[in-house]
Amino acid sequence: MNTEEEYSCRIVSQQFKTDSWNDFQLGAIRYSPRVPLAEADALLVLYDPSDELLKFDGPKLWFTIEPSWHHHFHSHPIGRRLVQELRASERSFYAHPDEVYRIPHPTYSGTLSRPRLPSIRQTAVASVNNFGGRLWFLRSHFRTRNRMILDRQVELFGKPDVWANFRHFPKLWIHGPPESYMGQPTPGTSYYDDEHIRFLSAYKVAVCLENSTEAYYFTEKFVNSVRAGCIPVYHAHPTVRKKFLRNAKWIDPADFGFSPRRTIEYALAQDQSEFRRANDTWLESGILADTDNQKVVLKLHNIISSKLERNGRY
């Protein structure tokens, strides 16, 4: 244990490539991917399951953003153990039962800019890189979303190598991209950046369904649609509707029996300006302030700091 005023927290993540991160200081804590586990005062693991969480006896935290069905929590050998063995206070995610450890899924990064093209196509768009694997049609959370984005009224974008492996249903012997797939991903280096939003803005309607409808699971999909000025097609869990979507305006497929054709035809027939007025006001209301990606590290730091203090190390 560190005996001076500065403390060290080892930070680990394959997904976010923390091995290449520079050390950084927040308060009295230095965060570093290079501090050995045996010398660390605390451990912070981001996204991927890590056996270091099982080895480390000091203050630790596993921060995740994936929905509850994700293989990290069910089929990953280390992830399964972490779900079973970690204390509730050693995990942080969007639906944690204790609000102290509940960190919303990020929906934007720093700015809610609205770069919009002046010319709008009278059709619908969807940007999807995860169709749910070869048995997607057996998984209700993917089946509902996929039926909507596979409609012929939707222009579908995503990674070519992903959609090349798509298995059609009910014609399971057919592999390859669906008819609605446009052969390329949307532009931009991330889902948050202006280039991606500007691309979406060329469409009147955006199908922005989550790949899971569950408590507090709310990602950038709806927000991107609104930033682009599109009419959102979205289905919200009651907790999401209450916490994040007060005064927002969208088309809910549930109102049309989850019929893709009826939902999208209705959305395309609506006055886009009404949705823009309501949703621009919603964007400006501050309701999304807690979902800024740039605030995540500070929130995690506050949890780690409290752990060190309670552990007598701070």
pLDDT higher than threshold 80 for residue 118: yes
Q: Across residues 104-113, what is the average pLDDT? A: 97
pLDDT band at 143 (very low <50, low <70, confident <90, very high): confident
The pLDDT value recorded for residue 132 is: 74
pLDDT 10s digits, 159-178: 999 999 898 877 766 688 99
Amino acid code (one letter) for 197: I
Q: Is 275 exposed, middle or buried (0-12, 13-18, 19+ CB in 10 A)?
A: buried
201, pLDDT greater than 80: yes
With b for 16 or more beta-carbon neighbours within 10 A and e for fewer, the 240-267 pattern comes to bbebbbeebbbbebeebeeebeebbebb
What is the CATH number that goes with domain 121-291? 3.40.50
pLDDT tens figures, 229-268: 999 999 999 999 999 999 999 999 999 999 999 999 999 9
Q: Where are the domains of the chain?
A: 7-106+293-310, 121-291
pLDDT score for 135: 72
pLDDT band at 5 (very low <50, low <70, confident <90, very high): low
Tokens of 192: 């948050």
- For the stretch 18-38, pLDDT in tens is 999 999 999 999 999 999 999
- Judged against a pLDDT cut of 60, whether residue 277 lies above it is answered with yes
Burial (CB < 10 A; 0-12, 13-18, 19+), residue 42, is: buried
Q: Is the pLDDT of residue 270 over 60?
A: yes
Rounded distance between C-alpha atoms, residue 216 and residue 221, angstroms: 14
123-135 pLDDT, tens per residue?
999 999 987 777 7
Mean pLDDT (whole number) for 276-297: 98
Nearest-angstrom CA–CA distance, 302 and 249:
34
pLDDT of residue 105: 97
pLDDT, residue 312, reads 65
Model confidence pLDDT, tens digit, residues 69-105: 888 999 999 999 999 999 999 999 999 999 999 999 9
What is the pLDDT, as a whole number, of residue 130? 87
User: If you average pLDDT over every residue of the chain, what do you get?
Assistant: 94
pLDDT tier for residue 313 given thresholds of 50, 70 and 90: low
Can you give the length of the chain in residues?
314
What pTM was estimated for this model as a whole? 0.92
Q: Are 287 and 244 within 8 A, CB to CB?
A: yes
Q: Which of 140, 119, 185, 134 is nearest to 158 (CA)?
A: 185
Q: What percent of the chain has pLDDT over 90?
A: 84
Residue with tokens 């507090």: 216
